[in-house]
Amino acid sequence: MDTVMTTVNSASAQLSMIPMLNGTNYVTWKETVEIVLGCMDLDLALRKEQPVPTTDDPKTDQIDKWERSNRMCMAIMKRTIPTGFRGSIAESTSAKKCLSEIEQYFAKNEKAETSNLLSKLVTMKQT
């Protein structure tokens, strides 16, 4: 029982290290998510594509490990993404694809914000 509590406490401590994603901390958020998932040995779904079952053995140990990793990655990432951002990102069943969607969302917003700031700078009057 003590081992289970130690594991739960350790996992909780690691998860609390992941900051809530906002409009300005995407790079830090992504790095922290990748480190925490790696330390918890849950990052298989971020590193590898989903294994394809064969007709001989449709359910292998590798497929089970990948599915667990993917499920846990998705749950952990969703936990640290505010509901408002979730609606802006395409729904995905793959953690790797979800992370890519989030990256594209923030890259697109960063470009728009940069363009807006440059436009304001160009049109500012010198006083």
Residue in this structure with the two tokens 């590798």, named with its chain if needed: 62
pLDDT for the residue 115: 57
pLDDT for the residue 126: 57
- At residue 61, the 3 state secondary structure works out as helix
pLDDT for the residue 47: 94
- What are all long-range contacts of 18-23, with beta carbons under 8 Å and residues at least 24 apart? 18/76, 18/79, 18/80, 19/80, 20/80, 20/81, 20/82, 21/80, 21/81, 21/82, 21/85, 21/102, 22/82, 23/106, 23/109
pLDDT class of 68 with cuts at 50, 70, 90: very high
Give whichever of 5-14, 28-37, 50-59 has the largest mean pLDDT.
28-37
The pair of structure tokens assigned to 53 is: 């079952």
pTM: 0.72
The pair of structure tokens assigned to 106 is: 């923030």
